[in-house]
């Protein structure tokens, strides 16, 4: 298993309850296929440029261990989750 860091930017219009459910959803998904080391909600930040017509977004940082095959599945789920406007997964 490799160590990864994933940063997602969530639509700024999602409320506190929605952010918690997203965090729970992704933490659960990662734990099914690996192990979450830490999750950090960095809060709302101004974006350098408009992303899907949004000027700001809520940032989440996930540090986790997983098999390389799982990363493609995680990215696929990020793409189909409407609240996620941008993401990146990097191998540490």
What is the Cα–Cα distance from 54 to 74, expressed in whole angstroms?
23
User: What confidence score (pLDDT) does residue 85 get?
Assistant: 94
pLDDT score of 88:
96
Q: Which domains does the chain have, with CATH numbers?
A: 14-58+66-86 (3.30.70.60)
Residue 20: predicted pLDDT:
94
Question: Digits of tens for pLDDT over the chain (92 positions)?
Answer: 899 999 999 999 999 999 999 999 999 999 999 999 999 999 999 999 999 999 999 999 999 999 999 999 999 999 999 999 999 999 99
Burial class (CB in 10 A: 0-12, 13-18, 19+), 62: buried
Nearest to 67 by CA among 42, 37, 30: 30
The pTM is what?
Answer: 0.90
- Which pLDDT belongs to residue 64? 95
* 3-class SS letters over the chain: CEEEEEEEEECCCCCHHHHHHHHHHHHHHHHHHEEEEEEEEEEEEEEEEEECCEEEEEEEEEEEEECHHHHHHHHHHHHHCCCEEEEEEEEC
Residue 78's pLDDT is what? 95
């Amino acid at each position: 298993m490799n160590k990864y860091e994933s940063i997602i930017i969530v639509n700024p219009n999602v409320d506190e309850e929605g952010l918690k459910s997203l965090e729970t959803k992704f933490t659960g998904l990662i734990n099914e296929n690996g192990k979450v080391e830490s999750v950090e909600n960095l809060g709302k930040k101004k974006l350098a440029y408009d992303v899907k017509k949004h000027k700001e977004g809520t940032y989440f940082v996930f540090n986790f261990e997983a098999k390389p095959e799982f990363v493609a599945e995680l990215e696929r789920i990020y793409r189909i989750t409407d609240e996620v406007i941008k993401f990146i997964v990097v191998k540490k």
